[in-house]
Amino acid sequence: MQFTLLSAVALALAGVSNAMPIHETNGTALVERDVITGGPYQSTLTYYTPNGGYGACGTIIQNTDFAIAMKQSLFDSYNTLHPGNPNLNPLCGTQVRITSLEDPNAQGVVAYIRDSCPGCQGDYGIDATPALCTAVTGQADCLQKGTFSVKWKFGPNPAPAY
């Protein structure tokens, strides 16, 4: 009787401990994560050229990707479960919407957090790939001006697998 009762309790607890939903996408299991929300934050956007290098999230970033590097201190503040491994930061792949404050007709542009930026300006500074910088600011060559005033917020949708 004791063994049966203990077995039933152990099985019940085992089912509770793995309560995070898992979805299958093209044969790859994806774990559903919490959606991160917040903002808008007024900040400075600068740009960088990752040139196909790996970002802090462990993925390759091309200059043509709509990807950002987030201020490192802000990026690190979200990584409380795995502080030694930025690849496991819950911000990795999170959608953000960025809007230029310098253009009154600007529409927001969606991008994904893929890197951290130790040199970004201000509390909420972000670095954008060249393609994203051009899309947000309308500047064909972001190098000419270098810094831009923007606002951004975490988007409502979780990131696709990449």
For 52-72, what is each residue's pLDDT tens digit?
A: 999 999 999 999 999 999 999
Question: In total, how many domains does the chain have?
Answer: 2
Distances (CA, A) of 24 to 21, 27, 29, 31, 48: 10, 6, 5, 9, 34
Instruction: Say what percent of the chain tops pLDDT 70.
Output: 74
| Domain with 75 in it | 41-154
- Residue-wise pLDDT for 113-148, tens only, equals 999 999 999 999 999 999 999 999 998 888 788 999
Round to whole Å and give the CA distance between 161 and 158: 9
Q: Is the same domain home to 46 and 23?
A: no
Q: Is residue 36 part of a domain?
A: no
Same domain, residue pair 12 and 60: no
Residue range 6-33: average pLDDT?
A: 41
Does the pLDDT of residue 27 top 80, yes or no? no
Higher-scoring residue by pLDDT: 71, 9: 71
Both 69 and 136 in one domain: the answer is yes
- Asked whether residue 15 is assigned to any structural domain, the reply reads yes
Instruction: Tell me: pLDDT of 32 over 80.
Output: no
Band of pLDDT at residue 38, cut at 50, 70 and 90: confident
Q: Over 60: is that where the pLDDT of 5 sits?
A: no
Q: Quick check: is 8 in a domain?
A: yes
Same structural domain, 18 and 82: no
Q: Same structural domain for residues 22 and 87?
A: no
Residues 26, 51 within the same domain = no
- Of the listed ranges 16-20, 84-88, 130-134, 154-158, the one predicted with least confidence: 16-20
The pTM for the full model equals 0.74
Say yes or no: 12 and 45 in one domain: no
27/45 same-domain check: no
Q: pLDDT value at position 28?
A: 39
| Residue 160 resides in a domain | no
- 148, 31 in Cβ contact below 8 A? no
pLDDT mean across residues, the chain: 80
Q: Is residue 54 part of a domain?
A: yes
Name every residue whose Cβ is closer than 8 Å to that of residue 61 and which is 6 or more positions away in sequence: 50, 52, 53, 54, 55, 67, 114, 115, 129
Residues 54 and 130 in one domain: yes
